[in-house]
Amino acid sequence: VQNDATGLYGQLTGVPKALLPGIGGKKILDFWWETVNTRQLFSEVYLVTNADKYKHYERWATANDFPVENVVNDGSTTLEGRLGAVADLELAIRSRKLQDDIMVIAGDMLCADQNFDIAQVLRFFRSKPGELAIYYELEEGEKSSSRGIVEVCPETHRISRFLEKPQEGVTALRLASVVFYCLRKATLPYLSDFLTLQPQAQDRTFGRFWEWIINEEKLPVFGMKLPTGFQLIGQVGLSDYTKWLAHYSAQQQQCPAKPITCRSYARVGLMGNPSDGFNGKTIAMTISNFWAEVTLMESQALVLLPHPLNDPTEFGSLQDLYCISRKEGYLGGLRLLQATCKKFYQFCSKQGIALTKQNFTLKYDTNIPRQVVMSATLKCLMKFYNITESDLPKPTRANFILNVETDELFITAGLQDRVVQVYEGLVYMDFSKQLMDEQGYGDYIPMDMSSLPPFWLAYLSDPSDSGRIHSNVRQRWLNGKTHTHTHTGMDWSRLAQLMDENFALRLYSFLFIVRCVCLPMQFGSAAKLPGSGGAVVGLCLDQVRLVEMRRAFQEAGCVFCVIVPYNPSGTIGTNSQD
């Protein structure tokens, strides 16, 4: 403030950094007091200050219902006579005879997002056999030389190395520790041991303490990431304080942000499917003809909006309900949104990512099978909670979505679909057993899409009818149009006959598929099944015959379209649909 040439901050002369205005005009310390003022989580809260600023904090405590007797005065009045941060903590523990797990937070720390869930931090701490240090990912322009940098094991979340303000070029790591820790009761004696080793106040910093605990004493310390930024105002001058306050305030003004809308696209399997379930290799491609779209908007309560078609709650009559239920079934898209949200929270909690306490409203639309909604939902959640690529890499993302289907919703599904919807474009996938066992996922390689030939797709004009391929086998049997044989005894000749009959019946049942694959052969076109939904994908290099084939498919009652590949770097191709 002494260097304030504008005169705008003269009234703040002598005010402790923690009592400076923070985001929205609220004092920085007010925010932290509101965060920890929860009897269900903390038995007592203490504030340590020096003698020079004690009166300021005494007045603040009286005005904010903070117990004045819990303001600890360390007796120092000058920078040269300071005790050091670790010595201040040890003083509070010793003078108040604390014998419990503790949380340590710098009261003068400006936080970019003030809605994180501190209860989630405590739950993660209690789930780990060691101490906890909060960290965040440095923003562009922040130098690692001004922070304590941590190296965190992505599997165990244990901090394997702590570098206190490393010189430029020493490390490429960008994960910065902040003064936000949890220590177990059994570890508190290490504080006095550290102070014995460090007699000089300038060396009694928390950064030096953790560097000693982690690198030398090898105590288990775990890291939890907060997807937000932090700045210790006590370490910066007026210009830096105003810069970061303006920066974080601008971020807050964008909240509630504009609605987040994400799409995930349909895919066609071009080669190898369904060998992804049998450690094979596949090539698949996303297409922009069909998609699922999810929109997320910040809201007071968490709301999942039903889709007017896929999640009907109002019907014209009982007969209308009967007809819709018979044709569409009972399983809409809301369960997909709910299961994805549940698994997302579970994943972040397990991975040590503390989410902000923000609610939202989700709605979706789709013109393809509803399962694709999950991929678009995950994209929205990642953007809303600022989850980065390093937090949730693409291979892990594909496994995540598949697990929502198979483990949470008990939907039979393959990994190929989720991989190509995460990577997007044309993707080669190797699901070899060795890769899957060693790393938990396969090798996924995006392929060049610059010279793709025109692929086509054909399917029944009423998409719901594609279900007849599988669903009406039992109905035809009930109607007497098919036969099921059971036979006891050891008549192997009869068994051989039944095997032939079984194949004939299955061939009859799936006649549409056979017809759609055979029809393109008349026009010199390759064709195959892109999945199991009753559609056919093909490749015809003769444009004249392509037009003739389209007419033949239309006469057979099918929809025929030229595929428009979806390329994440730009859509290519043209669409033709009648």
> Cβ of 479: how many Cβ atoms within 10 Å?
9
Res. 237 pLDDT band, cuts 50 70 90: low
In contact, 191 and 147? CB cutoff 8 Å = no
514-538, pLDDT tens digit by residue?
777 788 889 999 988 887 667 889 9
Q: What pLDDT shows up at residue 214?
A: 97
Res. 27 pLDDT band, cuts 50 70 90: confident
Q: What pLDDT shows up at residue 394?
A: 96
Percent above pLDDT 70 for the chain:
81
Report helix angle 394-403 to 334-350, nearest 10. Answer: 130
DSSP state of 565: B
How far apart CA 127 and CA 13 sit, in angstroms, is 44
Exposure b/e, 138-167, CB count within 10 A at least 16 = b: beeebebeebbbbebeeeebbbeebbbbee
In contact, 205 and 86? CB cutoff 8 Å = yes
Among 86-90, 107-111, 299-303, 507-511, where is mean pLDDT lowest? 507-511
Mean pLDDT of 566-570: 84
Task: Please name the amino acid found at residue 110.
Answer: L
pLDDT at 249 over 80: no
Q: What pLDDT shows up at residue 83?
A: 96
Instruction: State the sign of the Cα–Cα–Cα–Cα dihedral 318, 319, 324, 325.
Output: positive
Q: Is 105 helix (H, G, I), strand (E, B) or coil?
A: strand
Res. 303 pLDDT band, cuts 50 70 90: very high
Q: How far apart are the first and last CA of the chain?
A: 71
Q: What pLDDT shows up at residue 512?
A: 64
Q: What pLDDT shows up at residue 22?
A: 75
Count of alpha carbons within 13 angstroms of residue 188, beta-carbon side: 17
How far apart CA 343 and CA 359 sit, in angstroms, is 16
Q: Which two tokens stand for residue 408?
A: 């949470």
Q: What pLDDT shows up at residue 160?
A: 97
pLDDT at 238 over 50: yes
Q: What pLDDT shows up at residue 359?
A: 93
Which of the two residues, 269 and 364, has the higher pLDDT score?
Answer: 364
462 is catalytic: no
Q: What pLDDT shows up at residue 484?
A: 42
Mean pLDDT of 105-129: 86
Classify strands 281-299 and 221-225 as parallel, antiparallel or unpaired.
unpaired
Q: What pLDDT shows up at residue 479?
A: 54
176-196, pLDDT tens digit by residue?
999 999 999 999 999 999 999
Q: What pLDDT shows up at residue 6?
A: 52
- With vertex at residue 281, the alpha carbon angle to CA 275 and CA 286, rounded to the nearest 5 degrees, is 90
Q: What pLDDT shows up at residue 254?
A: 54
Mean pLDDT of 334-348: 96
Q: Which two tokens stand for residue 340?
A: 């994805």
How far apart CA 495 and CA 487 sit, in angstroms, is 8
Res. 470 pLDDT band, cuts 50 70 90: very low
Res. 411 pLDDT band, cuts 50 70 90: confident
Q: Which two tokens stand for residue 97?
A: 């005879």
Mean pLDDT of 241-269: 73
pLDDT at 52 over 80: yes
Percent above pLDDT 90 for the chain:
54
Q: Which of 417, 443, 448, 462 is catalytic?
A: 417
Q: What is the reported pTM?
A: 0.79
Res. 460 pLDDT band, cuts 50 70 90: confident
With CA atoms as reference, report the closest residue to 312 among 303, 321, 323, 304.
Answer: 321
Question: Measured between alpha carbons, how far is residue 106 from residues 98, 193, 493 in Å?
Answer: 19, 22, 83
Exposure b/e, 390-400, CB count within 10 A at least 16 = b: ebbeebbbbbb
Q: What pLDDT shows up at residue 108?
A: 83
258-281, pLDDT tens digit by residue?
899 999 999 998 888 778 888 899
pLDDT at 497 over 60: yes
Q: What pLDDT shows up at residue 494?
A: 65
How far apart CA 308 and CA 451 sit, in angstroms, is 40
Res. 578 pLDDT band, cuts 50 70 90: very low
pLDDT at 486 over 50: no
> Cβ of 476: how many Cβ atoms within 10 Å?
14
Q: What pLDDT shows up at residue 228?
A: 74
Q: What pLDDT shows up at residue 488?
A: 43
In contact, 367 and 577? CB cutoff 8 Å = no
Mean pLDDT of 96-120: 86
Mean pLDDT of 138-156: 89
How far apart CA 347 and CA 5 sit, in angstroms, is 49
pLDDT at 476 over 80: no
Mean pLDDT of 424-435: 95
* Residue at token pair 């730009």: 570
In contact, 134 and 181? CB cutoff 8 Å = yes
Mean pLDDT of 364-391: 91
- Average pLDDT score, the chain: 84
DSSP assignment of 270-312: EESTTGGGGT-EEEEEEEEEEEEEEEEEEESS-EEPPPTTTS-
In contact, 109 and 20? CB cutoff 8 Å = no
Res. 348 pLDDT band, cuts 50 70 90: very high
Q: What pLDDT shows up at residue 576?
A: 41
Q: What pLDDT shows up at residue 126?
A: 96
Three-state SS string across 455-475, please? EEEEEECCHHHHHHHHHCHHH
Q: Name beta bridge partners: 27.
A: 21
Among 184-193, 293-302, 324-333, 396-405, where is mean pLDDT lowest? 324-333
207-235, pLDDT tens digit by residue?
999 999 999 999 999 999 987 776 666 55
